[in-house]
Amino acid sequence: MALTPLPQGAARLTADFAAPTGPVLHGAAGSLYGVSEDGVPGDELLDALEITTLAVKPDGGAQHPGGDASSVVNVLRRNGDGLAFVYLQDLFAKWPYEDVGIDLYHEKLYEVVPPMLTDGNAGRLVWVPFNEPDWIWYSLKENAPAKYDRFLADWITTVQLLRGLAPGVPIAGPNEAYYHPEFLPHFLRRARDTGTLPEWMTWHELSPRSLAEFRGHYAAYRGLERSLGIAPRRVNIDEYGNNRDLSVPGQLVQWAAMFEEAKVHADMAFWTAAGGYSGAAPQPNLPNGAWWFLKAYSGMTGQTVRVDPPHPNTVDTLQGIASVDAERRSAQILAGGTVEDFTVAATGLEHEFWGEKVTATVHRIDWTGYEGTAGPPLPVAQFVSDPARLEIPIYGPDRMAAYWITITPGEAAVIGPPPWKGQWDAEAADITSGEITRHGHADDGNAFAASGEHDVCGLGLTDSAVVFQVDVPEAGEYDLAVFYSHMYGRGAEATEPQPAQQVLTVNGAERLLDYPSTMNWGHRSIAREAVILRAGANTVELSKSGAIGTARGEVALDKIELTERRPGRTSYDAAFARPRHGGLVFDLYAAEAGYHRIEGAESAILAGPQNQDAPVDLTRPVFLHAGVNRLRTEPITGPLLVGPATGPAPVEVDAAEVTRSGGSCLVVNDFADRGHVIGWNGRGATAAIEVDAAEGPHALLISYANDERTDGHEYNVDIVTRRCAITVNGKDAGTYPMRGTWTWNDFWTYPVIIDLLDGRNTIVFANPEGPTAEFERFRIAPLNP
């Protein structure tokens, strides 16, 4: 594609590759309660992230049902060098924490701290003794000397206690809900003079204004250290962002740019349910757009370089990060946060290193809601240029998307144009008996993100309808994506929580469109449907009723997207695969479970959702589960090409065909595939299936529902993960976590790789310690036939 410069005056973001700023830290990829149990999210998602910190609770803490430190440390040990910041006050059940007095708190620390001092946790824990003392227990925000003194006295004795109980374990604090310039000089001076300075300085940045103010906060803090003669502390902003930011690549890039520039660590906040990686992991193995942003950020290697945005320290504006890796001869840029056309100017690329030409490829990382799944970033443009004059124009950017630019020497193979795509916001459509509501703007940070900052709700009346007039360039098949949210049945409705529907009418032809439940009325997901459209004008209507009848339930609508359906293969560039153990790891995506042809290598290791490491012959089809599948290859230079393939049909066992024992029951469920589920399983009750198979590894897909919860938290949804122990032919095949699915009538799929024998095999599902999830059906397919 020829370089067509944007008009003079268009925004410019400059990345100066001659001005390195230090090794890439990846500090902004952390999360508070983003990991709830070992396996939630799964390693298929976490392995690709460079996690430096996670914030958790002490083992057995009563604040939330998941997030125990030792369980999370198990995850960190498999997936890098990250640290677990243990919020010790999360041993309490209530929010805000019960003010039991410092003496009783210390007694509880004597109980909870020593059991965590295991060999497995060694070198991985950081104590956070107080959380948001500006308003919890101490009211430091009142800036009263007596309140300062009370906290500082308790800080000193608590730090001394922890250092006595756990010598060598670092301490973090004071951990206020915001940067507190009036209090911090008192804190640092007293902690310095009493030998109780924390090894880590922590505070929270939980306002949209933080995008404008953090750099000033950080500079002020470093100035305080210097003025008091204190050696620089490591900094962790251990809660950042609002609901409007989380899940949104175009917002996350603004936060990550600030933190990476300052070389601080940071954890995305916890506003919703644990185990979803702060809005980046819709299900344990399924990614959304935010996950692909975090993966691209985690994949930046080498040195960061200076980036000059057009409007630094401004909320909701174009920001970016850039890195260069001399060893891999590549550079990367992440940018986004604006709706205005902009240019990325890459300066400092020397001919002696890069040669006469470089190729810059622009990939768009789309927002897909909190629960809508997404495939890898889409290549949308490519430019070949003299490296000394590389300028990359971005036309018509989506404010909610991030743009990942890769730069490599020479002229790369030409990419074709991306599939045509259009989008239409619901609030701009023709609305009958519905209400437009504003969400997720900078003055209401903890409202959930919405396209155009609005959605349409109140669509439960018989005549409720939203009608979109759409134009497409050619006649043919398109993928319709409906961005929606609902928790129908969990409010005043006289029914149990359940999936909802609308009547979808395309140019007069009606069908029902199903909507799985989401966490709440703002936690947006995507319902997808293939539609046939004519060239030019078309009408797409989503309504409560139609000639085919009245749909069940109610949803809120955000927008629709139409994308040209273009069958083909997905290309994964070896230059940006993950180097591991002398080879490469590719994170392959499958929109749905099935067989795939993988070209570009002859053999590989399929890591598997639980690290089963199954060898696969790539001359034959490989079964991939829905979501991310890690594939390890020997070093290769060309791309991997992945596309659908044919293979044997999976063996399917329905709930009614399962052998039950010990009280396991067949329960009627109108939303199950064939009307039944296996319930009351576990605590001695078991479910067993028998399948005939050829010897070798097989994919086992477990369709389940789980809506166990604990009650009482002010804003977090405390879902409970249930576990399932699997035995195959009498041998233990592992115990696996099954995260909450929002209702007992919504079914998710949990994938496992198991080894089967030639002939008849028996697979048993149990949980000696508690109930399992409810099982709808099981599917089994050979991994590499």
Q: Once rounded to an integer, what is the mean pLDDT over residues 457-484?
A: 98
Cα-based angle 155, 175, 233 (whole degrees, multiple of 5): 85
Residues 374 and 294 in one domain: no
Residues 583, 689: one domain?
A: no
Instruction: Please check whether residue 269 is in contact with residue 310, taking contact to mean a CB–CB distance below 8 angstroms.
Output: no
Output the six-digit token pair for 391. Answer: 């300028």
- The pLDDT score that the predictor gives to residue 711 is 85
Domain match, 105 and 209 both: yes
Give the Å distances, CA to CA, from 179 to 133, 154, 184, 222: 12, 20, 8, 13
CA 411 from centre of chain: 34
Alpha-carbon distance of 425 to 560, in angstroms, equals 7
- In this prediction, residue 491 carries a pLDDT of 85
Per the structure, the count of domains in the chain is 5
CA 738/CA 720 separation, integer angstroms: 9
Contact 175, 130 (CB under 8 A): yes
Using CA atoms of 642, 644, 649, 650 in order, give the dihedral in degrees to the nearest 10.
50
Is the domain of 122 the same as that of 134? yes
Write out pLDDT tens, residues 382-397: 999 999 999 999 999 9
Spatial contact of 688 and 658, defined as CB atoms under 8 Å apart: yes
Percent of the chain with pLDDT over 90: 97
Domain ends where: 645, 680, 709?
645
Say which CATH number the domain at 173 has.
3.20.20.80
The CATH number that applies at residue 466 is 2.60.120.260
The domain in which residue 527 lies consists of: 421-564
Under the phi-then-psi rule, with left for phi > 0, alpha for psi from -120 to 50, and beta for the rest, what region is 326?
alpha
Q: Is the pLDDT of residue 9 over 80?
A: no
Question: How does pLDDT run across 545-567, given as a tens digit for each residue?
Answer: 999 999 999 999 999 999 999 98
DSSP type of residue 278:
T
Radius of gyration of the chain (CA): 27
Residue 87 to residue 96: CA distance in whole angstroms:
13
C-alpha–C-alpha distance, residues 63 and 68, integer Å: 10
What's the pLDDT at 422?
98
Evaluate whether 127 touches 236 at the Cβ level (below 8 Å): no
Q: Do 73 and 146 lie in a common domain?
A: yes
**CA–CA separation, 149 and 323 (whole Å):** 45
Contact status, residue 581 vs residue 613, Cβ threshold 8 Å: no
Phi-psi sector, 295: left (phi>0), alpha (psi -120 to 50), beta: alpha
Exposure b/e, 141-159, CB count within 10 A at least 16 = b: beeeeebbebbbebbbebb
What are the C-alpha distances in Å from 167 to residues 172, 198, 493, 687? 14, 13, 55, 48
Same domain, 655 and 640: no
Do 55 and 135 belong together in one domain? yes
Q: pTM for the complete prediction?
A: 0.98
Q: Residue range 673-700: average pLDDT?
A: 97
* pLDDT for the residue 321: 98
User: Which 8-state DSSP code applies to residue 414?
Assistant: P
pLDDT bracket for residue 1 (50, 70, 90): very low
Does residue 540 share a domain with residue 480?
yes
C-alpha distances (whole Å) from 69 to each of 121, 322, 489 are 9, 33, 34
> 645, 671, 695 — which closes off a domain?
645
CB 66 within 8 A of CB 57: no
- Give me the pLDDT at residue 8, please: 63
User: In this model, does residue 3 exceed pLDDT 60?
Assistant: no
What pLDDT, on a 0 to 100 scale, did the predictor assign at position 444? 93
CA distance 591 to 262: 37
Q: What confidence tens digit (pLDDT) does each residue in 50-78 have?
A: 999 999 999 999 999 999 999 999 999 99
**Residues 177 and 204: beta-carbon distance below 8 Å:** yes
Shared domain check, 7 and 36: no
Token output for 51: 């996690």
Q: What is the pLDDT of residue 567?
A: 87
pLDDT value of residue 10: 83
Q: How many residues can be counted in the chain?
A: 785
For residue 775, give every residue at least 6 positions away whose Cβ sits within 8 Å of its Cβ, in sequence order, or none.
Answer: 655, 658, 677, 678, 681, 687, 702, 703, 704, 765
CB 73, CB 121: distance < 8 Å: yes
Which pLDDT band, with edges at 50, 70 and 90, does 2 fall under? very low
Q: Are residues 408 and 441 in the same domain?
A: no
pLDDT digits (tens, 9 = 90+) for 165-183: 999 999 999 999 999 999 9
Q: Which residues contact 570 (CB under 8 A, 6 or more apart)?
A: 375, 376, 588, 589, 641, 642, 643
Round to whole Å and give the CA distance between 357 and 455: 46
Sequence-ordered strand ranges (E) for 498-626: 500-506, 509-515, 525-533, 536-543, 545-546, 549-550, 556-564, 570-572, 578-580, 583-590, 594-599, 603-606, 614-617, 622-624
Q: Both 557 and 576 in a single domain? A: no
The answer to whether 93 touches 58, Cβ cutoff 8 Å, is no
- Which CA distances in Å does 86 have to 65, 94, 168, 721? 15, 17, 15, 20
> Are residues 448 and 516 part of one domain?
yes
- Position 7 scores a pLDDT of 62
197 is written with which tokens? 């300075």
Tokens of 396: 């018509």
- On average, the pLDDT of the chain sits at 97
CATH number at residue 573: 2.60.120
Tens of pLDDT, residues 573-616: 999 999 998 999 999 999 999 999 999 999 999 999 999 999 99
Res. 5: pLDDT tops 70: no
The per-residue pLDDT for range 356-370, each reduced to its tens digit, is 999 999 999 999 999
Q: Which of 564, 595, 628 is the last residue of a domain?
A: 564
